Amino acid sequence: MTTAGYRRIIVKLSGEALAGDMPHGIDQATVDRFAADLVAARALGVTLGVVVGGGNLLRGATAASHGADRTVADVMGMLATVMNALALESAIERLGASARAMSAVEMPQVCETYERRAARRHLADGRIVLFAGGTGNPFFTTDTTAVLRAAEMGADAVLKATNVDGVYSADPKRDPSARRYDRLSLDEAIERRLGVMDLTAFSLARDHRIPIIVFSIREPGAVESVLSGRGRATIVGG
């Protein structure tokens, strides 16, 4: 299967990338560009859910390594993902498309609470659903959330839009000799402990036979390119 066959997808959008050229925070121009990418992908007729990370604001494990309580830090990380999802929701709606942020952590004054059937209805109605607040539980990541929501929504694939152009034999930021894969199995990704996603996410994807497509979000139109089968990406599983 090529990446062109997917009709229902979950995009895992890097939180870190939302900072643009800044070390941290939310860069509005980058939010607007990612929103335009998502709207263009939706215009291909693809049913689209998005899980956004929080690495531009706070990662629980990092905060804990500096002395914070891990469970509190993880809650803060989940709140960071809500901020990112709200920024994207607003940017998508300003482009004239319909979007709905749904948080796994209840905050009714802020956005809808995640509920599986309601989310499926929003998708069926053509809305881009922004799954915020991670799984709602500490000790997980938004990569795992993306695979979980993909399984719940009956998605064909998870598109991991990040700051590297695929999966390598080692972290390419640390090892310049790392070799890039065009394709590999989920078993191989797990056995080789490839750090582009956590093991929980890869294992859940293997259990539910959900392929993960890893590609760089740096180029405008990246999501649409991957969905059209043109973009540079690594296909894991599938």
Kindly list the residues in this chain that would bind ligand ATP in the complex (CB under 6 A). Answer: 14-17, 53, 55, 142-143, 162-164, 167-168, 170-173, 194-196
Max Cα-Cα span within the chain:
49
- Distance from the first to the final alpha carbon of the chain: 7
Q: Which residues bind ligand LLZGTKA7 (CB under 6 A)?
A: 15, 53-55, 59-61, 73-74, 77-78, 80-81, 134-135, 137-138, 140-143, 145
Tell me the β-bridge partners of 180. 168
Residues forming beta bridges with residue 183, ordered by sequence position: 235
163 is in an annotated binding site: yes
Distance CA 230, CA 220 (A): 13
The residue among 69 and 175 lying less far from ligand ATP, judged by its C-beta, is 175
On whether the CB atoms of residues 3 and 226 are closer than 8 A, the answer is yes
Q: How far apart are CA 176 and CA 28, in angstroms?
A: 32
Name the residue among 131, 127, 150, 159 with its Cα closest to residue 223.
Answer: 159
Least distance from ligand LLZGTKA7 to the Cβ atom of residue 64, Å: 8
Q: Which of ligand ATP, ligand LLZGTKA7, none does residue 170 bind (CB under 5 to 8 Å by kind)?
A: ligand ATP
Q: Which two tokens stand for residue 216?
A: 């760089």
Q: Is 74 labelled as part of a ligand binding site?
A: yes
216 binds, among ligand ATP, ligand LLZGTKA7, none (CB under 5 to 8 A by kind): none
Write down the least CB distance from residue 188 to ligand ATP, Å.
11
CB-based contacts of 220, cutoff 8 Å, min separation 6: 33, 36, 37
The response to whether 228 counts as a known ligand-binding position is no
Q: Give 142's Cβ-side CA count (13 Å radius).
A: 37
Q: At 208, which amino acid appears?
A: H
Q: Say which entry of ligand ATP, ligand LLZGTKA7, none residue 162 contacts (CB below 5 to 8 A, set by partner kind).
A: ligand ATP
Question: Minimal distance in Å, beta carbon 5 to ligand LLZGTKA7?
Answer: 27
The interface partner of residue 11, options being ligand ATP, ligand LLZGTKA7, none and the CB cut-off 5 to 8 Å by kind, is: none
Annotated binding-site ranges for ATP: 12-15, 55, 59, 162-163, 168, 171
Annotated binding-site ranges for UMP: 54, 74, 135-142
